[in-house]
Structure 1
Amino acid sequence: MLVRMTTNADAPQTRPRRRAPAGAAVLREDVTEAIRAAVFEELAAVGYARMSIEGIARRAGVGKTAVYRRWRSKLHLVLDVVSEIAVMGLPVPDTGSLQDDLRMLYEVTSRALRHPVASQILPDLQAEAARNPEIAEALQNALQKGQEGVASKIIVAAEQRGEIRPGLNDELALDLISGPLYWRSVVIRSPKLPKGYLAALAHATTEALKAL
């Protein structure tokens, strides 16, 4: 359920550099990152339908050629940026307790989902996904992979501690862990979570997982 909002204390993600083919123009990494940042800002400001390469380039402070040297269209640029959400990762809690692990996960996820940029981008991309299968697939992968990776580790740790029985239905467990917060933050867009909501949600989810 996450968006490419950096969560690990807003630390930048490190990607391996690729060697350019002999004779190829070298693409400056700082320009690439400026364009990616501009995509998020432009999506939040005008939405996918009204977003343009010209607007992205202007916001990034580069020429259109710099964008087209990296991506051949607006669609491919957005697909690339959205797909990066899947690899950014969420921190895996390790508190020694299923309920505390879930509460920590909810706190980090809630901050990411309620970030001003994320709260604008996700609903717009979801609407666009209904019309564009490529965006739908990229968004689904981005939202699921990051959350599934963390949730599965939380479940495995809880199984090893004997807090829940082994062999739970993974899909149902993920729905229980991820669904309520995503529903409230992204679908109905509640402006503010009630006091104690995340703690109560962590407790309720823990009891539900134990009952599976």
Structure 2
Amino acid sequence: MTQNIPIPDTGSVREDLYQILQQLFIVLTATTTATAVTELIAEAQINSHFPEASREGFIQCYRAAIGTILERGIVRGELRSNLNLELVIDAIYGSVWYRLLLKHPPLDDTFAEELVSFLIAGISA
């Protein structure tokens, strides 16, 4: 779906994460992509060949973007050097997918800010 995701580079991992979540929330709430993504997730539950295909597109692109932000934060000394990147990415997207699929509470700026603050508290250097 999306191959060229703009990755913020403000010099602050906190701000970069906040901005990319804002971008993602717009895609997932204000475009037709939200319906497609929820349908992909639903299809992945019943089609054993489907999950790999869905991960290669939209989902993997956003995971890679978050990974880039986290890696830059490690290099700059903002984040712990022994950070488990996959776990942090899963924590972010687990929260996002939960809200997307249940449609409550909303994917909004307040959630983005609170999620980033919560994560930063646990992963800062």
TM-score (normalizing by structure 2): 0.83
The one of 102, 118, 125 aligned to 1:204 = 118
1:159 and 1:165 in contact (8 A); partners too? yes
Report the CA distance between 1:141 and its aligned residue: 2.2
User: Counterpart in 1 of 2:66?
Assistant: 151
1:147 and 1:178 in contact (8 A); partners too? no
Gaps of 5+ in 2: none
2:25 and 2:108 in contact (8 A); partners too? no
Please identify which structure carries the higher helix content. Answer: 2
User: Counterpart in 2 of 1:82?
Assistant: none
TM-score (normalizing by structure 1): 0.52
Q: Which entry has the higher C-alpha Rg, 1 or 2?
A: 1
Runs of 4+ in 1 over 6 A off after TM superposition: none
Q: How does 1:118-197 map to 2 (within 5 A)?
A: 118-184=33-99, 186-190=100-104, 192-193=106-107, 196-197=110-111
Paired letter, 1:127: A
Deviations 1:161-200 (A, max 9, x none): 211121311211211232212221x221237446622212
Report the CA distance between 1:128 and its aligned residue: 2.1
Paired letter, 2:110: G
Deviations 1:47-103 (A, max 9, x none): xxxxxxxxxxxxxxxxxxxxxxxxxxxxxxxxxxxxxx4xx1321111111111110
2:44 and 2:50 in contact (8 A); partners too? yes
Report the CA distance between 1:116 and its aligned residue: 4.2
In 1, the alpha carbon distance for the partners of 2:43 and 2:109 equals 33
- 1:90 paired with 2:12, answer no
Higher RCO (C-alpha under 8 Å, 6+ residues apart): 2
In 2, the alpha carbon distance for the partners of 1:129 and 1:149 equals 20
Gaps of 5+ in 1: 5-84
Paired letter, 2:34: S
Deviations 1:18-64 (A, max 9, x none): xxxxxxxxxxxxxxxxxxxxxxxxxxxxxxxxxxxxxxxxxxxxxxx
Report the CA distance between 1:134 and its aligned residue: 2.7
User: Counterpart in 2 of 1:104?
Assistant: 19
User: How many residues end up aligned between the 2 structures?
Assistant: 125
In 2, the alpha carbon distance for the partners of 1:195 and 1:168 equals 26
RMSD: 2.2
Paired letter, 2:20: L
In 2, the alpha carbon distance for the partners of 1:138 and 1:147 equals 15
Seen in structure 2, the aligned counterparts of structure 1 residues 116 and 130 have a Cα distance that, compared at 3 Å, is same
